Chain A
Amino acid sequence: MLNPDLKLNEKLFDKDVEQVPIRKGFGEGLVKAGEENPQVVVLCADLTESAQALAFKEKFPNRFVEIGVAEQNLASVASGMAAMGKIPFITSYAMFSPGRNWEQIRTTIAYNNRPVKIAGSHAGISVGPDGGTHQAIEDIAITRVIPRMVVISPCDAIEARKATVAAAKTDTPVYIRLAREKTPVMTTDKTPFEIGKALIVWESKKPKVGIIATGALLYKALEAAKELSGKIEVEVMNLSTIKPLDEKAVIALAKKTKNIVTVEEHQIRGGMGSAVAECLAKHFPVPMRFIGVDDQFGQSGTPEELIEHYSMGKTAIIEGVKSLL
């Protein structure tokens, strides 16, 4: 059952569950962070509206910088601004930032120890019709290997808003992964959020499998848990901070369930599942299944079609659970 302590959306499983793009929550968070701290500035690379920086730009025009289609410059200009005390958020599509400008993020932001926040919109395969060039499914892997980098993948718009406000208060570089399309709102304003803290969103008395999900696919994991209810008991974890990993919570779940399925809209290699496996292989090895993209590129289609085609939907998760028992 849904964890009652988390004050999740009561209409979560309703047919007309509210759907909002995760990136929209980021846009709201930006404005809130800007209101809270005058040092927060936003830089954009010719995607102001799409990457959700427009509201901030309109509210704080003097704290907004248009860089043009130049993501490498975007990262390093932000580093320079951070050197003067600013808290810069750089916004673009994840494929271009942190995709195209990885070395600039690594050297001029992280190596330089500057607290720049990188918001990668349009992450995941569910970008849909734009096709494979615009579907960032490698971004978790390339950000989590960078020392000092915090990596957050919010599950819905509300969590994205909270993550954005929280990121502005940290003194480290942060990568926030955002999705383009509307996805179900699972949390509420009252749901707790803390960077580095994983939450069990679906509980069971005697779970046989632990499902660890990140991003919007958490919803598919919850649907799978609901469908399995009464047949196979599972617990579902929302792992929104991928780095630093909440090792304590991950190990506790593995000890309780002895089986783990990870679910992410990302390449299996190097992603959240890999991070979980690194932790469990060291502390408490258990059999695992990895739901994600299996060493392929994306393509055009509707988000639903693509999630099914690349085996990341409810059915694939249920199959993953069953294959462990």
Chain B
Amino acid sequence: MDITDEKVTELEKRANDIRISIINMLLEAKSGHTAGPLGMADIFTVLFFHILKHKPKDPKWPERDRLVLSNGHICPVYYSTLAHAGYIPMEELRTLRKFGSRLQGHPHRDFLPYLESSSGPLGSGLSQAVGMALADRMDAKEDKRRIYALLSDGEHDSGQLWEAAMLAGKNKLRNLTAVVDRNNIQIDGFTEDVMPLESLSDRWRAWNWHVIEIDGHNIREIVDAFNKAKTIYEKPTVIIAHTIPGKGVKEFERDYRWHGKPPNVEEAKMALHELRTLGGKIRSEHQ
């Protein structure tokens, strides 16, 4: 399924709006993660506005695709996307991390039932997605809906992720697509310093997955990868999306110190100015 230039531009604008919402949320919350959410805005946009089979007005629609966010700490991009997609009111984004808010610091289904899973502790999201895909295989629903798992690169340090990847490969779960946010940072520094992951694609191939590597900010590449994954019949597919942490705000980009802190008033002002100036013109640096 090709995507028109108009649609690409529309999605780019949408991703930029979502980034603006992320900055506003974090400024209000005074705590939370900045780099990851900004870096994943393009992928979330493509998923919710082009790829996922879902009905914001009927969130419990049984046939909907399932999305498991494993690295729950990037939830500002999730919440922001849900608001832009019409699941929650935009003004509710201001309640992030506040007492009584549905937008918990890490996603919790008790508070926000639209989430497919509560998450935060790293390494366990892929397992849950594998369980969902296995259940659908048992029920012969493999072609009715797809299961998506969003993973960080840092959580590849965790053994449980390896366990889940092996199980999916063993069972050739073609209804499962994982996305790795390959932004090369984690809390303690660059991933290759903390615990080297390369060659990441070779590892996934060894687990019997089909591997697609993309520029995680190129809307067309993201769309193509998700569509390609649907056609891979013998294996689960992992999309290793090379992203820039903090994408969209030059001062935040590629700086691991922005992993786990929010912008202050001055920094937010600067970031919002930059994002608004960019408008709908966000294009990957690789283009």
Q: Which of A74-82, A128-136, A229-237 contacts B (4 or more CB under 8 A)?
A: A74-82
Interface string of B8-49 (1 = CB under 8 A from A): 000000000000000000000000000000000000000000
Q: A19: shortest Cβ distance to chain B, in Å?
A: 37
User: Cβ of B201 < 8 Å from any Cβ of A?
Assistant: no
Residues of A within 8 Å of B66, CB to CB, are: 83-84
Query: Are B124 and A86 touching (Cβ within 8 A)?
Result: no
Say which one of A60-68, A212-220, A246-254 lies at the interface with B.
A60-68
Q: Which residues of B contact A67 (CB under 8 A)?
A: 163, 167
Number of interface residues of B (CB under 8 A): 31
Contact of A107 with B134 in the complex, beta carbons under 8 Å: no
Within 8 A of B (CB), among A76-113: 76-86, 88, 103-104, 107-108, 111-113
* Contact between A83 and B160, CB atoms less than 8 A apart: no
Q: Is B189 an interface residue (CB 8 A)?
A: no
In the assembled complex, the Cα of A221 lies from the Cα of B229 at a distance in Å of 61
Given contacts A80-B128, A108-B128, contact A68 B110 (CB under 8 A): no
Q: Does A73 contact B (CB under 8 A)?
A: yes
Identify the stretch in B81-89, B115-123, B215-223, B268-276 within 8 Å (CB) of chain A at 4 or more residues: B115-123
- Say if the beta carbon of B197 comes within 8 Å of chain A: no
Nearest-neighbour CB distance to chain B for A57, whole angstroms, equals: 14
CA distance A104 to B131 in the complex (A): 14
The residues of A that contact B131 with a CB separation of less than 8 Å are: 76-84, 88
**0 or 1 for each of B131-153: is its CB under 8 Å from A? (1 = yes):** 11111101100000000000000
B117 to chain A, nearest CB (A): 6
* Chain B residues, Cβ within 8 Å of A85: 135
In the complex, the answer to whether B164 meets A65 with C-beta atoms within 8 Å is no
Q: B138 to A72, Cβ gap below 8 A?
A: no
Q: Is B127 an interface residue (CB 8 A)?
A: yes
Confirm or deny: A12 has a beta carbon within 8 angstroms of a beta carbon on chain B: no
Q: Which residue of B lies closest to A45 (CB)?
A: B163
Any A CB within 8 A of the CB of B69:
no
| Residues in A neighbouring B135, C-beta threshold 8 A | 41, 80-81, 83-86
Structural contact, B128 and A111, CB atoms closer than 8 A = no
Beyond A70-B163, A113-B109, is A80–B121 a contact (Cβ under 8 Å)? no
Q: Which residue on chain B has the smallest CB distance to residue A41?
A: B138
1/0 contact trace for B61-72 toward A, CB 8 Å?
000001010000
Given A73-B127, A76-B124, A111-B118: A84 and B160 interface contact (C-beta under 8 Å): no
Check A77–B160 contact: CB distance below 8 A.
no
Find chain B residues with CB under 8 A from A113 CB. 109-110
- What residues make up the interface of B, taking CB atoms closer than 8 Å to A? 66, 68, 108-110, 116-121, 123-124, 127-136, 138-139, 159-160, 163-164, 166-167
